[in-house]
Amino acid sequence: MSRPELQAPPEIYYGDAEASKYTNNTRIQQIQADMTYRALELLNLPPGEPAFLLDIGCGSGLSGEILDEEGYVWVGVDVAPSMLEVALEREVEGDLFLQDIGQGFGFRPGSFDGAISISVLQWLLNAETSHPTSSPPHRLARFFTTLHSALRNPSRAVLQFYPTSDDQVQLITSIAQKAGFGGGVVVDYPNSKKARKVFLCLFVGDGRAASAAQQLPAALDGDGGAEGKDAKATFEKRRQRESRREKSGKQKVAKGGKDWILRKKELYRRRGKDDVPRDSKFTGRKRRAFF
């Protein structure tokens, strides 16, 4: 199936059905939670000071719940009313706004200690109408400039998103830089197809005022010793196991041969497929060569 952002605008794609499906899916919950924790880690907020955060594209509050748990006070914005309804039902602590981030925020300058956004930015990359304010660069520019002013100096914004191409990453980072942000892209698990996650890590201010200079945090790559065992990308093990098995000489059954046909038929029977032909001495036999 094609990517959701290519199917419909977010406020339509996340209708009532999709909103509850999304929120109740334990796999999505797990992934969202992992990414939220990682985003908080990248945000690098000073410990012991409860911060005031902005959750961009809060949806049904999957990430907001974690912010609650961690003791942050937060404000969430989202463009899909159905998702916000689910968030209301789940009784999240933060304030919710129905807002299109491509239209910009109206928050007073210096309002927030930081901003996170999980799987949202890719939704800004499609033009819904031909109006000039609907073009992705315009929407991105509006988003980043108003976000930049809404954040305190110094502070950070961590935005996780799913780019389809390097051009998209390029576009987003260049517009963010024009809006005054420093920082760049952190790619976790760059070598894993599934666990690979792109975080846009933006800094407001050069950090000279902060105790530690703002420098881009290191990405997780899955084989660093310092990160410990938990840092390994999921699914990496399975891939390794498979490649080991291939190397160990267990030959794959050649496609089209008798063994292959028998195995396939066996498989179909096990799956309960109708009319699988029965095995006989003629199954998969070589035909005589004719002229």
Partner 1 sequence: MVRLITHNLLACHAKGCTTNNYPLKFSNVKLALREADFNPDFLRGFLPRIEWDALVQASRERCSTTDLLKQLHHVLLETHIDEGSMTCPNCGHVYPISNGIPNMLLAEHEIG
- Determine contact, residues 117/199, Cβ cutoff 8 Å: no
Q: What is the DSSP letter of 46?
A: P
The span from the CA of 168 to the CA of 156, in Å, is 21
Report the residue number, 81 or 180, with the smaller CB distance to partner 1.
Answer: 81
Q: Give the shortest CB-102-to-partner 1 separation in angstroms.
A: 8
Q: Give the shortest CB-7-to-partner 1 separation in angstroms.
A: 21
- Determine contact, residues 61/76, Cβ cutoff 8 Å: yes
Q: Give the shortest CB-77-to-partner 1 separation in angstroms.
A: 8
Report the residue number, 93 or 221, with the smaller CB distance to partner 1.
Answer: 93
Q: Which of 91-115 are b and which e, b meaning 16 or more Cβ less than 10 Å from the residue's Cβ? A: ebebebbebbbbebbebeeeebbbb
- Phi then psi dihedrals of residue 10, to 5 deg: -60, -40
Residue with tokens 């987003």: 172
Vertex 28, ends 61 and 176: CA angle to 5°? Answer: 65
Q: Give the shortest CB-125-to-partner 1 separation in angstroms.
A: 17
Q: Give the shortest CB-142-to-partner 1 separation in angstroms.
A: 7
Instruction: List interacting residues with partner 1 (CB under 8 A).
Output: 48-52, 71, 73, 75, 77, 79, 81, 84-85, 88, 93-100, 103-108, 110-111, 113, 129, 131, 133-134, 142, 146
Report the residue number, 73 or 261, with the smaller CB distance to partner 1.
Answer: 73
The span from the CA of 96 to the CA of 268, in Å, is 51
Q: Give the shortest CB-71-to-partner 1 separation in angstroms.
A: 8
Report the residue number, 125 or 186, with the smaller CB distance to partner 1.
Answer: 125
Which of 39, 69, 30, 44 is CA-nearest to residue 57?
Answer: 39
Report the residue number, 50 or 257, with the smaller CB distance to partner 1.
Answer: 50
Report the residue number, 104 or 183, with the smaller CB distance to partner 1.
Answer: 104
Which of 99, 52, 53 is CA-nearest to residue 78?
Answer: 99
